[in-house]
A and B are shown apart, each in its own frame.
Chain A
């Protein structure tokens, strides 16, 4: 396992289309996070999972966004009816949490979404 993997790296879509991104975390990590980053800004938290349970969602995650982690391994982030404002880098990260301790989060290379 070489790290967190995201697919695709780049996605161009027309406004109104649906898109889905995939994240494969580091295999032994039980926590998985999704962040969004726009140009010139730091990453903004969207949601996170512990195993298959989605434990927290940001207010940034509108009802057009849905994330799943069905088997506690890989995760998908779907955006329905995309808008130009959804254009951003979508980052996935994973970490290992045990006994109240949360280890460092490691990030994937991101999926750059452009809505035209």
Chain B
């Protein structure tokens, strides 16, 4: 069974601070996706990374896929209260056709 471990599980920071969320696995993924989920809603896709070493930026969010395609990170610069939510990484293996999710990082940004 493939496992995706996310850390930290919970993060509470002040507005303006920077943070990094990590997603690690012992398995290789063909692609990895990051989602953000608000309470009572479904996950919303933020980005997909496919190539080892790939870096993608979405405004203040920077996503990186590890060279070996086993891990990924999400870095947020100058966090804002609107960034509050559950951040989920999910990997797609070439051998399976459904995403495997991590347990998520709950981020709270205090104004």
Contacts and interface: CB of A to CB of B under 8 A. Distances in A.
A56 B35 CA distance: 23
Given A42-B103, A42-B104, A105-B33, A48 B97 contact: yes
Interface of A: 4, 6, 31, 33, 35, 40-45, 48, 50, 55-56, 91, 93, 97, 102, 104-110, 112
B97 A91 contact: no
A98 to B, nearest CB: 13
Contact of B104 (A41, A102, A106): A41
B23 to A, nearest CB: 11
B35 to A, nearest CB: 8
A110 B100 CA distance: 18
B40 interface: yes
B45 A106 contact: yes
Contact of A112 (B4, B35, B40, B102): B40
A109 B42 contact: yes
Nearest to A44: B101
Contacts of A33: 98-99
A42 B88 contact: yes
Contacts of A105: 33, 45, 99
A44 B102 CA distance: 9
8 contacts: A6-B42, A33-B99, A42-B102, A44-B101, A45-B99, A91-B42, A105-B45, A107-B45
